[in-house]
């Protein structure tokens, strides 16, 4: 019986590299795979699945937010691989669940578990609820040697914990961190904002 897999990890944990390796293994055996990704993920090119290591491949299917995925021909497909699954809607995850059952196809979804505010993404939450197998792709904290469990967001060099979960194209950078380092950096960012605000008020009052 084929399974629906959710392989999650923090930023920089080589999730996409893992996906590309699985795709290579299938294709090396002469087997057909379908590579999918959310339509909204345009960071490395709208139709490209690209690892931070530089390796990449073409996506076969770009998934829209409410797409049913039922109009696709799955005949001869051995496996479906989904990149950046956290950006998918709950309805799309449910559609993948049904395709897995209907076509007896293994579907492996890769993505973040939580956003930079430590909240579950919609797609990730539905995968946690529906997946047959949930696996963690582990990585270490950017600041220490503990295991990373958080995704820390910096904007203009300052750690932030507010704002939209999806903000493609902004001047931002993400770091994998343990909770201790995450909390320290966020608190430093908040303190910096307070100091900047006080300095601005003092300058304005002169």
Active-site positions read: 84
Q: Which two tokens stand for residue 202?
A: 């003092």
Do the Cβ atoms of 129 and 102 come closer than 8 Å? no
From the centroid of its chain, how far is CA 128?
14
Residue 161 C-beta-side C-alpha neighbours within 13 Å: 15
Angle at 4 between CA 167 and CA 26, to 5 degrees: 95
């Amino acid at each position: 019986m084929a399974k629906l897999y959710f392989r999650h990890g923090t930023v920089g944990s080589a999730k996409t590299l893992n996906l590309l390796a699985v795709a290579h293994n299938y294709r090396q055996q002469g087997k057909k795979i379908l590579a999918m990704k959310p339509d909204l993920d345009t960071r490395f090119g709208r139709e490209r699945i690209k690892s931070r290591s530089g390796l990449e491949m073409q996506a076969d299917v770009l998934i829209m937010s409410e797409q049913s995925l039922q109009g696709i021909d799955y005949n001869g497909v051995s496996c479906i691989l989904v990149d950046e699954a956290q950006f998918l809607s709950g309805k799309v995850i449910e559609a993948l669940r049904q395709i897995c059952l209907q076509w007896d196809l293994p579907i492996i979804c890769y993505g973040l578990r939580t956003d930079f505010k430590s909240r579950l993404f919609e797609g990730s939450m539905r995968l946690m609820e529906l997946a047959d197998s949930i696996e963690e792709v582990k990585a270490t904290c950017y600041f220490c040697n503990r295991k990373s469990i958080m995704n820390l967001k910096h904007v203009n060099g300052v750690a932030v914990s507010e704002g939209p979960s999806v903000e493609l194209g902004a001047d931002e950078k993400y770091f994998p961190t343990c909770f201790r380092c995450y909390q320290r950096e966020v608190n430093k960012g908040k303190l910096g904002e307070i100091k900047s605000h006080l300095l601005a008020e003092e300058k304005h009052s002169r």
